[in-house]
Amino acid sequence: MKDKFAIIFIVILGIVMYGLTLHGDIGNPTVGEFKDKLDQATNAFELSPERGRYIHIANMADSGVYNLSPEWGAVAYPDVGISKKGKINSYFAPGVAYIVLPFYIIGNKFGLAQVAAFSVEALVSIITLIFIYLIGRRVFSLPKPVAFFTVLIYGFASVSWSYSTTLYQHAFSTFFIVTGFYAVWRFSKNDSKYSWVYASYVWLAYALALSVDYPNAVLMLPVMVYFAISAFPSQKVMGNVSVSIRWAAILTFIVFAFVIGLQFWHNATYYNGWSSLAGELQKYKPTTITSDSLATTTVKEKTAIGFFHEYRIPNGFYVLLFSAERGLFFFSPIFIFSLLGVWHVIKKKTANGVVYIVPLSLIAVNIFLYSSWGDPWGGWAYGPRYLIPSMPWLALFVGVALSYKQKFWKILLACLFFLYSSAIALLGVLTSNVVPPRSEAILLPIKTYNFLHDIPFLLDNKSNSFIYKVYFADKLTLLGYLLSIYVIVLIVVFIMLFMLYNKKDE
């Protein structure tokens, strides 16, 4: 199997799988359709993050401005704030809304505004899958079946699936980090006339990553440090250190400056100043929410970094990695193999260690950052959604583990773990992301706070899938639909692992 064919297969698989599970429904939702309808579990706007982003898109398409009318503000509640100038905005960074806007406009013409907007997530996820494969093959030097398997792990055996079919920031963040890393790697090879293109892209990816989610400024730092090291390659010459300057990396900073300039303009226009962030807006309570006559605001000063603190790390670390609520290893135990991969990398001590150190740093920064976040659960969510940017790298380290001494028991175990992880991922993407944290679940009639929360939806045939709702709801139970998709995944995985096992002696 040539890489070209593998990539084509990834694209086809991505289109099929994401297509079958994309959240949504027919139509161009209007203000009145959200409350108690579309904002219910197993509907396209079941949670405020997707609502908050979507309504900005709809608002921009309708009125040409980013800030919301009070009616749209009520839809975005509770993740909505108000600037000192009285402009109502959601708390989310604006990048996703701007990027998705053209697709919304096209979809709007066909009565599929919401589906078109959400499909952008699937699109960037498919591109991410391609780059995971390329990194696996070219950077990590993984065998083809293993590189393909890493793609399957990220795409269809992790909760990234649930967030590749709805309007969140995670797919975009991951996309920019993965492609940014690949661009830096290509840039660092210094063997092509396209250095300027790669350098421009790295800056662009960093700026856009910032615009879709502010913490990406920190999350993507390892990639940028790698970029900086590549921009100033050094070598020892007769006892002295000779440092070179690759001007492409420095001059293309203008790309970053331009995009960030736009971000500053946005902040100045819609928030409290050029350096103000969406999360710093004061809380906005729509009149429909309170009995007060007018919208009210809280007075406490908010800061973007105020939610991060070291004392939260122990709990956050536990919640994100091990807990039954959101734990990575609980939802996707296939990632346990990544620890083995990391161990092999450390033991191997390759000369090209930087290509492993950067991903390891990305994972470490991601875990460190969101462990210290006030809400590591990610609100009501399915799995450890804040760790999605780490999942491509974890999947690649699973690949490293599998490519090292390909023993039968290891492949069998990986296969079993994959089956479990994929089933959980599929359950989430087909039903709902509306899973409460434990502290809130115990107050509810259904006291479940992990994927078990979605089982009743499955049994009641309540799905978030656009295709299922429109084409299969009256022909097939949701369980049947789930099993059909699962079988596709299984066949692909078994083929890959069979190929891997048969090639172990090569």
Partner 1 sequence: MNSFTFKNRYLDVPKRVISYFSPEVWVVILSIIFAVGATTYYYLHGYIIAYGDAESHLNIAKRVVDSLTPGFAQLGGIWLPLPHIFLIPFVYFDFLWKTGLAGSIVSGIAFIISALYIYKLALLLTRHRGASFFASLIFIFNPNILYLQSTPMTEMTLIVFFILSSYYFILFLRNDKKIINLLFAAFFGFCASLSRYDGWALVLMEAGVLFLFYFPYRFKFEAFIEKFLDDDSSDQIQILERKERISGPLSWSRLEGRLIMFCTLAFFGIILWLAWDGLILGDPLYFSHSQFSANSQQQGWLARGELPAYYNIFTSLIYYFVTSAETVGFLVASIAMVGIASFLINKENRYRILILLIAFVPFFFNVITLFLGQSVIFLPGVTPITFDWTLFNVRYGVMMLPVFALFSGYIFYRSGTLGKALVSSLLVLQCLLFFMGFSSVLALEDGRAGLSSFIAKIPDAQGWLEENYDGGLLLTDDYARTISIVRLPIKMQDVIYIGNKPYWEESLIEPEKYAKWIVMQKNDSIWKNLIDDELKQGRLYKYFNKAYTSEDILIFKRIADN
Q: Which residues contact partner 1 by CB under 8 A? A: 234, 237, 239-247, 305, 308-315, 353-354, 357, 368, 372
For partner 1, the closer CB: 252 or 431: 252
Q: In degrees rounded to 5, what are phi and psi of residue 237?
A: -125, 110
Measured CA distances, 1 to 6, 7, 477 (Å): 7, 10, 36
| DSSP assignments along 132-176, one per residue | HHHIIIIIS---HHHHHHHHHHHHHSSGGGTTSSSS-SHHHHHHH
Nearest to 459 by CA among 478, 474, 472: 478
Which C-beta is closer to partner 1: that of 317 or that of 330? 317
Q: Calculate ∠ Cα 281-257-193, nearest 5°.
A: 140
Cα–Cα distance measured from residue 327 to residue 319, given in angstroms and rounded to the nearest whole number: 6
Q: How far is the CB of 248 from partner 1 (least distance, A)?
A: 9
Smallest gap from residue 357 Cβ to partner 1 (A): 7
Give 190 or 290: the residue with its C-beta nearer to partner 1.
Answer: 190
> Residue 201 Cβ, how far from partner 1 at the closest point, in Å?
19
Q: Which is nearer to partner 1, 239 or 445 (CB)?
A: 239
Q: Name the minimum Å distance from CB 368 to partner 1.
A: 7
Contact 398, 493 (CB under 8 A): no
**Residue 22 or 387 with smaller CB distance to partner 1:** 387
Measured from the Cβ of residue 486, the count of other Cβ atoms closer than 10 Å reads: 17
Phi, psi (deg, nearest 5) at residue 381: -155, 170
Q: Which two tokens stand for residue 35?
A: 């409350």
Nearer to partner 1, 15 or 250 (CB): 250
**In whole angstroms, how close is the CB of 174 to partner 1 at the nearest point?**
24
The CB-of-311 to partner 1 minimum distance in angstroms stands at 4
> Cβ of residue 49: shortest distance to partner 1, in angstroms?
25
Nearer to partner 1, 262 or 360 (CB): 360
Min dist. Cβ of residue 294 to partner 1 (A): 34
Least distance between partner 1 and beta carbon 212 (Å): 23
Coil/strand/helix, residue 230: helix
Answer yes or no: are the C-beta atoms of 55 and 37 closer than 8 Å.
no
CA–CA distance, 72 with 403 (Å, rounded to integer): 51
- For the chain, how many residues are written? 506
Task: Name the residue with tokens 């007018």.
Answer: 294
**CA dist list (Å): 88 to 212, 233, 295, 296:** 19, 47, 11, 12
Nearest residue (CB) to partner 1, 245 versus 446 = 245
Instruction: Pick between residue 224 and residue 313 the one whose CB is nearest to partner 1.
Output: 313
Say which DSSP state 470 is in: I
Question: C-beta of 372: minimal distance to partner 1 in Å?
Answer: 7
Cα–Cα separations (whole angstroms), residue 139 to 149, 184, 502:
16, 11, 23
- Whichever of 174 and 200 has its CB closer to partner 1, that residue is 200
Instruction: Provide the CB-side half-sphere exposure for 501 (13 A, CA).
Output: 15
Q: How far is CA 283 from the centre of its chain?
A: 26
